[in-house]
Structure 1
Amino acid sequence: MIDARNFYINGSWVAPQAQADCSVIDPSTEEVYATISLGDQADTDAAVAAAKAALPMWRATKKDDRIAILRKILDVYNCRSAEMGAAMSKEMGAPLDLSNGIQTGIGAMHIQAFIDALDGFAFERQLRDDAPNDQIIYEPIGVCALITPWNWPMNQVTLKVIPALAAGCTMVLKPSEEAPMSSLLFAEILDEAGVPAGVFNIVNGTGVGVGTQLSGHPDVDFVSFTGSTRAGVAISKNAADTVKRVSLELGGKGANIIFADADADAVQRGAIHCFNNTGQSCNAPTRMLVERSRYDAAVKEAIATAEAQAVDTASKTGDHIGPMINQTQFDKVQSMIEVGIKEGAKLVAGGTGRPQGLNRGYFVRPTVFADCTNDMDVMRQEIFGPVLCISPFDSEEDAIEVANDTPYGLTNYVQTTDPERANRVARALKSGMVEMNGNFRSAGAPFGGFKQSGTGREGGVWGLEEYLEVKAVGGWFRDV
Structure 2
Amino acid sequence: MTKAIPTLSIGDHAVRAAHYVNGAWVDEGATFQVFSPIDQGMLGSMPEASDLLVDAAVDGALAAFPAWAALGAEGRLPYLQRFADAIVDRAEAFAQVESHDAGVLLSRLQHGIIPRAALNIRWFAEAALKLQDKELATHQAHHYVRHDPAGVCAIITPWNSPLMLSTWKAGPALAAGNSVVIKPPEWAPLGCSILAQAAEAAGIPPGVFNVVHGHGPTTGARLVANPRLSRISFTGSVPTAKIIAKVAAENLIPCSLELGGKSPFIVLEDADLDLAAATGALQYRNATQVCLAGTRFLVHEQVRDAFVEKMRAIVEQLVIGDPRDTATEIGPIIHPRQFEKVQGYVERAKAAGARLLWGGEPHPFGPLYYKPTMFTDVAPDAEIVQEEVFGPVLVMQTFTDDAEAVRLANDTVYGLGGVCFGEVGHARAVAEQVRTGFIWINSFGIRDLAAPFGGRGQSGIGREGGDYSFEFFSDIKDVIVPTAPFKASFAHR
Are residues 199 and 45 of structure 1, via their aligned partners in 2, closer, same or farther at CA, if it must alter by over 3 Å? same
Displacement, 1:387?
A: 1.1
1:114 maps to 124
How far, CA to CA, are the matches of 1:215 and 1:250 in structure 2? 17
Matched, 1:389 2:401: no
1:276 maps to 285
How far, CA to CA, are the matches of 2:91 and 2:191 in structure 1? 11
Q: Percent identity?
A: 34
Matched, 1:399 2:409: no
Displacement, 1:12?
A: 1.1
| Further displaced range: 38-47 or 442-451 | 442-451
Displacement, 1:343?
A: 2.0
Matched, 1:468 2:474: yes
2:320 maps to 311
How far, CA to CA, are the matches of 1:298 and 1:265 in structure 2? 8
Which residue among 405, 409, 426 is the counterpart of 2:415?
Answer: 409
Counterparts of residues 21-420 of structure 1 (less than 5 Å): 21-122=31-132, 124-128=133-137, 130=139, 132-353=141-362, 355-356=363-364, 358=365, 360-417=366-423, 419-420=424-425
Are residues 60 and 263 of structure 1, via their aligned partners in 2, closer, same or farther at CA, if it must alter by over 3 Å? same
How far, CA to CA, are the matches of 2:351 and 2:116 in structure 1? 39
How far, CA to CA, are the matches of 2:328 and 2:127 in structure 1? 33
Instruction: Identify unmatched segments of 5+ residues in structure 1.
Output: none
How large is the RMSD of aligned CA atoms in angstroms?
A: 1.7
Residue type at the aligned position of 2:108: L
2:23 maps to 11
How far, CA to CA, are the matches of 1:383 and 1:322 in structure 2? 16
> Is the contact made by 1:159 and 1:463 (CA closer than 8 Å) also made in structure 2?
no
How far, CA to CA, are the matches of 1:161 and 1:477 in structure 2? 39
Displacement, 1:130?
A: 4.8
Displacement, 1:129?
A: 6.1
How far, CA to CA, are the matches of 1:382 and 1:348 in structure 2? 19
1:426 maps to 431
Residue type at the aligned position of 2:235: T
> Is the contact made by 1:93 and 1:323 (CA closer than 8 Å) also made in structure 2?
yes
> Is the contact made by 2:322 and 2:328 (CA closer than 8 Å) also made in structure 1?
no
Say which SS state the counterpart of residue 347 (structure 1) adopts. Answer: strand
> Is the contact made by 2:176 and 2:473 (CA closer than 8 Å) also made in structure 1?
yes
How far, CA to CA, are the matches of 1:441 and 1:313 in structure 2? 27
Residue type at the aligned position of 2:37: P
1:436 maps to 441
| Further displaced range: 2-11 or 192-201 | 2-11
2:464 maps to 458
How far, CA to CA, are the matches of 1:266 and 1:437 in structure 2? 8
| Further displaced range: 127-136 or 164-173 | 127-136
List structure 1 runs of 4+ shifted beyond 6 angstroms: none
> Is the contact made by 1:27 and 1:93 (CA closer than 8 Å) also made in structure 2?
yes
How far, CA to CA, are the matches of 1:477 and 1:118 in structure 2? 29
**How many residues are matched?**
471
How far, CA to CA, are the matches of 1:193 and 1:414 in structure 2? 43
Provide Cα deviations, 1:92-149, integer angstroms capped at 9, x if missing partner: 1112112222222321332343134213221x23223655432222211111110001
How far, CA to CA, are the matches of 1:361 and 1:28 in structure 2? 9
Are residues 271 and 107 of structure 1, via their aligned partners in 2, closer, same or farther at CA, if it must alter by over 3 Å? same
Displacement, 1:389?
A: 0.8
> Is the contact made by 2:88 and 2:114 (CA closer than 8 Å) also made in structure 1?
no
Say which SS state the counterpart of residue 34 (structure 1) adopts. Answer: strand
How far, CA to CA, are the matches of 2:195 and 2:140 in structure 1? 45
> Is the contact made by 2:148 and 2:477 (CA closer than 8 Å) also made in structure 1?
yes
Displacement, 1:175?
A: 0.7
> Is the contact made by 1:23 and 1:32 (CA closer than 8 Å) also made in structure 2?
yes
Say which SS state the counterpart of residue 302 (structure 2) adopts. Answer: helix
> Is the contact made by 1:271 and 1:306 (CA closer than 8 Å) also made in structure 2?
no
Instruction: Identify unmatched segments of 5+ residues in structure 2.
Output: 1-7, 10-14, 485-493
Are residues 6 and 261 of structure 1, via their aligned partners in 2, closer, same or farther at CA, if it must alter by over 3 Å? same
Say which SS state the counterpart of residue 146 (structure 2) adopts. Answer: strand
Residue type at the aligned position of 1:433: F
| Further displaced range: 279-288 or 369-378 | 369-378
Displacement, 1:476?
A: 6.2
